[in-house]
Amino acid sequence: QKEVEQDPGPLSVPEGAIVSLNCTYSNSAFQYFMWYRQYSRKGPELLMYTYSSGNKEDGRFTAQVDKSSKYISLFIRDSQPSDSATYLCAMTGAGSYQLTFGKGTKLSVIP
Amino acid sequence: DAGVTQSPTHLIKTRGQQVTLRCSPKSGHDTVSWYQQALGQGPQFIFQYYEEEERQRGNFPDRFSGHQFPNYSSELNVNALLLGDSALYLCASSLARQHSNQPQHFGDGTRLSIL
């Protein structure tokens, strides 16, 4: 079993839809959770960084962490064609400097 | 505010050769991490450098080595290249803080192709 599981998609939605992206993990030592967006031929761009369980909102993006279920989510409201990219979840534990990533979910937002 | 910069952007090598990739961290950052991203996969951690020393290493062979300079920039060296080393190599920088895990910011990577 991989430490971090993420459905690779692809996921295709119409413009304006709400998008839900998810990751599950098995390592209970993970305490810091991130979502990155990666456009084709570019490096990952940090979108959200969370520590505790619960929700964190930033504009159209909401990150949700449920440590009891070892499940994290990223919601994108009012999705735009410019949101078309691969979304990577990443996580790490206290005292560790290594990020463990999911495989990424490829999202297409259709105008 | 300059972000993480990497050079070169693309590189083609043949099996058995050696390669050096370079990274300048984001302004104000003192820690550099290197990741390997194969096509269709998430990045895999190679190692992290802080205060010019390797302080954590992932599951990569000794053919992968690195260096950090006093200005915090870093190099990744790979010896005896294999076809399987073909990947996007990403550098990430962060600011070391005691008792706190700081987010890592990535450059656009070096795409390495092995023939």
Tell me the pLDDT of chain A averaged across its residues.
95
- Do B104 and A6 lie within an 8 Å CB cutoff? no
For the stretch B72-107, pLDDT in tens is 999 999 999 999 999 999 999 999 876 667 899 999
What is the rounded radius of gyration, in angstroms, for the C-alpha atoms of chain A?
Answer: 13
* pLDDT for the residue numbered B98: 65
Chain A residues with CB-CB distance to B33 below 8 A: 97-99
Which pLDDT belongs to residue B99? 61
In angstroms, the separation between the Cα of residue B3 and the nearest Cα of chain A is 11
* Confidence band of A52 (pLDDT split at 50, 70, 90): confident
**pLDDT score recorded for residue B41:** 95
Q: What pLDDT digit, counting tens, does each position of A25-51 carry?
A: 999 999 999 999 999 999 999 999 998
Instruction: Return the pLDDT at A94.
Output: 85
Average pLDDT over residues B46-61: 95
Widest pairwise Cα distance in chain A: 44
Neighbours of B77 (CB within 10 A): 13
Subunit contact B42:A103, Cβ cutoff 8 A: yes
Q: What is the DSSP string of A63-99?
A: EEEETTTTEEEEEESS--GGG-EEEEEEEEETT----
CA distance B82 to chain A (A): 22
More confidently predicted of B111 and A1: B111
CB contacts of B100 in chain A (<8 Å) are: none
B2 and B91 Cβ atoms separated by less than 8 Å: no
> A50-77: buried (b, 16+ CB within 10 Å) or exposed (e) per residue?
beeeeeeeeeebbbbbeeeebebbbbbe
Q: What is the pLDDT of residue B96?
A: 83
pLDDT at B1 over 70: no
The single residue listed with the structure tokens 């971090």 is A4
The pLDDT tens digits for B14-48 are: 999 999 999 999 999 999 999 999 999 999 999 99
pLDDT of residue A45: 97
pLDDT at position B101 is 77
Closest CA to A89 of A76, A107, A72: A72
C-alpha to C-alpha distance for B52 and A42, rounded to whole angstroms = 27
**pLDDT attached to residue B89:** 98
